[in-house]
Amino acid sequence: MGLALRRAVLLLVLGGALSACDVPAVAVSEPAAAVVDGHEISMKTYQARLGVSRQRDPFAGIPEAIPSPAPTQRLEDFTIEQLVREEIVRQEAAQRGISVSDRAVQSRIDALRAHAGAAAFSAALSRNGFTTDSFRAYERVLLTEVALVQAMARDRAGSAAQELKSGHPFAAVAARWSDDTGTFSRGGDAGWLRPAEIPEPALAAAVQSLAAGSVTGIIETNRGEVIATVLERRADQLHLAVILVLAPVVDLFGPMGTPTWFTKSIDDREAALRRAGKIDVRVARHAGG
């Protein structure tokens, strides 16, 4: 090849390389760990939560009925299943116009840090596999679920109140709507109490001077929405019956405090989405559905 030709080829190569530098970079979308009704759960979110699962291991000491091919797979399955459920909760909340602001999340984190102390709080995050960002996301999920439960509880309490106004017996309404496992099978009968023995101040105040046979409105308490009636009164005691629709405040919220009707609602929604082919899991053993 002649010198002039070699120079021409070199100029063409350099020109192409320089031209390529001027082309805007094409953004490469991050692969999704799952898609729930058209909404992606990012791989970054999945990996961050998997780190938490590995640190906290909810299965520690619990044998599997059918052993996993690899010990890590159970945690991977648990993690993506948890994230799918959380996305369903977020979507259900969004349909009701419920969203949690950055300010609310920060306020919650600030309160936790103040309660524990800054050093202990940071140590707890590290010990449980959280980063600052992943813990913020985790708290947003928690606050969203609590808000959704509370909104649904208000609807249920409203239905109970409407039935009472329509003349349905208190005992029948309690049996239908109350989540108080200690009383709903007895028609809400909580027995004889002094107002000072009632743990919820708002409820105690509402029944303090309530006439026998009368029914309160819906009372918001730390445990949820309450409707109460005084069956009888004597001296400083009253015979109380209650309807409790569970909706614990965030500090009391947890697996044991989640109402069964709420769990069933989310489970039913997930089952419907799976039947419709609208849950696409791309990680762990359940990839593909």
The answer to whether 250 and 143 are in contact (CB under 8 A) is: yes
- Does one domain contain both 235 and 211? yes
Structural domain contains residue 256: no
Which residue has 């709507």 as its token pair?
Answer: 177
Q: Residue 270: count other Cβ atoms within 10 Å of its Cβ.
A: 19
DSSP state, residue 253: -
The answer to whether 170 and 190 are in contact (CB under 8 A) is: no
- Does one domain contain both 147 and 36? yes
Closest by CA position to 206, among listed 186, 192, 220, 185: 220
Structural domain contains residue 174: yes
Among the candidates 153, 175, 206, a domain finishes at 153
Say what the pLDDT of residue 288 is. 57
Per-residue pLDDT of the chain (289 residues; tens, 9 = 90+): 443 433 333 333 334 433 344 445 544 567 899 999 999 999 999 999 999 988 876 655 555 555 544 567 888 999 999 999 999 999 999 999 999 999 999 999 999 999 999 999 999 999 999 999 999 999 999 999 999 999 999 999 999 999 999 999 999 999 999 999 889 899 999 999 998 899 899 999 999 989 999 999 999 999 999 999 999 999 889 999 999 999 999 988 877 678 999 999 999 999 999 999 999 999 977 665 5
Say what the pLDDT of residue 267 is. 97
- Does one domain contain both 136 and 222? no
Secondary element (H or E) of residue 42:
strand 39-42
The answer to whether 243 and 177 are in contact (CB under 8 A) is: yes
**Global pTM value:** 0.83
Per the structure, the count of domains in the chain is 2
The CATH number that applies at residue 45 is 1.10.4030
Among the candidates 127, 153, 179, a domain finishes at 153
- Does one domain contain both 132 and 161? no
Buried/exposed 59-71: b ≥16 CB within 10 Å, e otherwise: eeeeeeeeeeeee
Distance CA 201, CA 221 (A): 8
Structural domain contains residue 128: yes
Q: Which two tokens stand for residue 79?
A: 């993690």
The CATH number that applies at residue 209 is 3.10.50.40
- Does one domain contain both 41 and 139? yes
Say what the pLDDT of residue 87 is. 98
- Does one domain contain both 137 and 181? no
Distance CA 100, CA 144 (A): 6
Distance CA 269, CA 232 (A): 43
Structural domain contains residue 284: no
Structural domain including 161 reads 155-246
Among the candidates 114, 133, 153, a domain finishes at 153
Say what the pLDDT of residue 103 is. 97
Say what the pLDDT of residue 67 is. 54
Provide the 3-class DSSP secondary structure of residue 33: strand
- Does one domain contain both 180 and 209? yes
Say what the pLDDT of residue 252 is. 86
Amino acid identity of 226?
V
Distance CA 151, CA 93 (A): 9
